[in-house]
Amino acid sequence: MAFNDRKSGEGSKGAGTFRAKNTELFSREIKADSNSSDKIYSRDVDNLYPLRIEKVINNSPTGRRCANLMAKYITGKGNITNFPVGKGIFINDILRKAGRSIAYQYGVYFRLKYVLDAEKSQTDGTPAFKPGAVEVLDYVVMAKSKEDDADFPGKLYALKDNDGGGLSNKEEDMKWFYPYNRDNKVIKAQMLNDCKEKEIDNPTFEQMLHNYRGQVYYMNLTPEYIYALPLADSVYNDMDTEFRISNYNNSQTRKGFLGKTVIIKYEEDEEAEEDFDDEAKDFLGSENSSSMLTISIPQNIDKKLDEAFVIKQLPAQFDDKMFESTVKNLRQNIMGAFNNAPEPLIFSGSGSLFGTNAETYKEMKLFYWEQNEDERSMLEQTLRMFGYDVNIIPIVVETKTLTDGE
């Protein structure tokens, strides 16, 4: 179920659809408005689609486990060398955050700031720059602006909360960044522009570097769409259903697995009625008091005492096996969406792991490592493009069995 405008053809003019803002099973698709006067491409009418993806994954026990496992299998054991990429930030920190962003949103926003590259700067004074710091931005608040008339990429914005619970797309409420461009002349012009905005004329290189807002590169693993399409999108309903089943079970557990208690008795004065209710609650326990219903009948009703004071227990409707088959199917769908995550790697305590021999378990790890090869390769290529030497260490190394004659 697509939620983006496609970038090619007429799709970029608003032909796509978004998933709606609530988690109900119906009416969850709305038109994406990319023809509005807003500067950014909307991520749903309230710009909160990425937040809903985060929440539906985190609310789903299987979804959260799958996302965490996928992030781990994208970034492996980290880079061969864990070198610094900013003040107090190392390349493995970037890998972990990027891996999570891919697993949840299938995209990453990288912010880069530059420093002067003295070795490559020209003798005529033309400066050369190299990345001095890189960070992974919060995907939930980031948005792309629309292209200009010449189809050049626009700015990238960090949106802010508005009073209505959404994210504001008013320019005065947004922090913006330049799109990624490694051209030294472009970087210098951007730095000078930032200094000019702060009324700094003829800035020094130190002032240029200090006041530079930086560039943002958006790594989109579904480039046919304006925004990345999360893997979780296809199992949004499944994760939401798993969450609602958990809520139902929790509700029944809080009632102590009891049915409703109905008490029929003679009517008394207000104080006596309150005393009776308090004593009944003490008897049932406060956690089950909400399951009690008291019916008082007038004293003048001609009823025998055994008919006028009756306690009836309505049977509980809770069955812990009611959703067993449903949950199993939900889990299979969710694991499949997250690059076919093997069940023993997700539910290690379910018995499936301990019934698996070591060699089979290793093969599963190798299988899932290979399932995430495209995402891992894209992440490595992107960081190398920035100038960082990245080679991710595998979680498990495939060993070759020697045969006779080798």
Q: Identify the residue with better confidence: 381 or 2.
A: 381
Q: Is the pTM for the entire model greater than 0.85?
A: no
DSSP codes, 11-48: GGGTT-EEE-SS--SSS-EEE---SSS-SB--SSTTS-
Residue 45 is predicted with a pLDDT of 78
Mean local confidence (pLDDT), 228-238: 97
Residue 239 is predicted with a pLDDT of 97
Question: In the predicted model, is pLDDT for residue 12 greater than 50?
Answer: no
Question: In the predicted model, is pLDDT for residue 100 greater than 60?
Answer: yes
Interatomic CA distance for residues 250 and 286, integer angstroms: 17
Query: What is the percent of the chain where pLDDT is above 90?
Result: 52
Residue 111 is predicted with a pLDDT of 98
Question: In the predicted model, is pLDDT for residue 11 greater than 80?
Answer: no
Residue 60 is predicted with a pLDDT of 97
**Confidence band, pLDDT 50/70/90 cuts, at residue 354:** low
Strand order in the sheet with 261-266: 292-297, 261-266, 310-313
Query: What is the percent of the chain where pLDDT is above 70?
Result: 70
Interatomic CA distance for residues 282 and 199, integer angstroms: 72
Mean local confidence (pLDDT), 251-277: 68
Residue 2 is predicted with a pLDDT of 44
Residue 32 is predicted with a pLDDT of 43
Q: Are strands 310-313 and 261-266 parallel, antiparallel or unpaired?
A: antiparallel
Q: Identify the residue with better confidence: 237 or 282.
A: 237
Burial 109-125, CB ≥16 within 10 A → b, else e: bbbbbbebeeeeeeeee
- pLDDT tens digits for 179-212? 999 999 999 999 999 999 999 999 999 999 999 9
Residue 293 is predicted with a pLDDT of 64
**Lowest mean pLDDT, pick from 163-172, 295-304, 385-394:** 295-304
As a whole number, the mean pLDDT across the chain is: 81
Residue 291 is predicted with a pLDDT of 61
**Confidence band, pLDDT 50/70/90 cuts, at residue 53:** very high
Instruction: Judge contact between 224 and 6, C-beta under 8 A.
Output: yes
Q: Identify the residue with better confidence: 371 or 44.
A: 371
Residue 400 is predicted with a pLDDT of 57
Interatomic CA distance for residues 52 and 58, integer angstroms: 10
Q: Identify the residue with better confidence: 272 or 241.
A: 241
